[in-house]
């Protein structure tokens, strides 16, 4: 909800996040910020070297030790149909330790960075649900609840889910 009490509009689409048009696209990165597989690899491939150059600059300046889990930082979006990529580091799923607040923090911090940028439309992938193995239903609940509970001037948060199972898990979180 923003200061006027207006709720952010949450939408869901099935597809490839690198094909989305939005002010900002969120990347499920790792602490190195230097790329990886999954969404991260796809974003760097589609966006081109400008993104990696900006990530290297971040590592050489503010984030010498990398971006901590649960935090977010923005770079330009290169050739993507977006102005910015917001990189956030999701937690690796653990059966013995509750890391839910770190996953919630990824969503809160990404929205905070989006607000700093003035981004009005933000596309999110299903953070931590791939290589980091977070169970889909639980990740969907945390992601949607957190976005609904976070005060922001962002007008549309679009969850972009790669397959039908992920789409169903996320879309079914809305009342």
Instruction: Give residues 34-53 in contact with ligand AR6 (rule: CB under 6 A).
Output: 36-40, 42
Residue 69 engages ligand AR6 in binding (rule: CB under 6 A):
no
Instruction: Give residues 88-107 in contact with ligand AR6 (rule: CB under 6 A).
Output: 90
Taking Cα atoms as reference points, which of 76, 86, 103 lies closest to residue 40?
A: 86
Piece of 1-9, 15-23, 64-72, 143-151 that binds ligand AR6 (CB under 6 A): 15-23
State which of residues 18, 75, 105, 152 lies at the interface with ligand AR6 (CB under 6 A). Answer: 18
Work out how close the CB of 1 gets to ligand AR6 at its nearest, in angstroms, rounded to a whole number: 27
Residue 12 engages ligand AR6 in binding (rule: CB under 6 A):
no
DSSP H helices in the chain: 38-47, 49-60, 100-117, 136-149, 164-171
Residue 72 engages ligand AR6 in binding (rule: CB under 6 A):
no
| Whether 69 contacts 31, CB under 8 Å | yes
138 is catalytic: no
| Whether 79 contacts 44, CB under 8 Å | no
Catalytic-labelled residue, pool 4, 23, 40, 98: 40
What distance in Å separates the CA atoms of residue 140 and residue 126, rounded to the nearest whole number? 7
Backbone angles phi, psi at 94, to 5 degrees: -130, 135
């Amino acid at each position: 909800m923003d200061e006027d009490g207006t709720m952010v509009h949450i939408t869901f689409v099935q597809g490839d996040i690198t094909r989305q048009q939005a002010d900002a696209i969120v990347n499920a990165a790792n602490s190195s910020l230097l790329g990886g597989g999954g969404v991260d690899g796809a974003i760097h491939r589609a966006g081109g070297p400008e993104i990696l150059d900006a990530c290297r600059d971040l590592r050489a300046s503010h984030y010498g030790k990398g971006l901590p889990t649960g935090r977010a930082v923005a770079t330009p979006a290169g050739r993507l149909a977006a102005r910015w990529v917001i990189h956030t580091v999701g937690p690796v799923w653990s059966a013995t330790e509750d890391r839910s607040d770190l996953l919630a923090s990824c969503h809160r911090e990404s929205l905070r960075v989006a607000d700093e940028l003035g981004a009005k439309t933000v596309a999110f992938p299903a953070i931590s649900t791939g290589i980091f193995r977070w169970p889909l239903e639980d990740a969907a609940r945390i992601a949607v609840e957190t976005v609904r509970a976070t005060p922001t001037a962002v007008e549309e948060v679009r969850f972009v889910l790669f397959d039908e199972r992920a789409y169903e898990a996320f879309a079914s979180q809305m009342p």
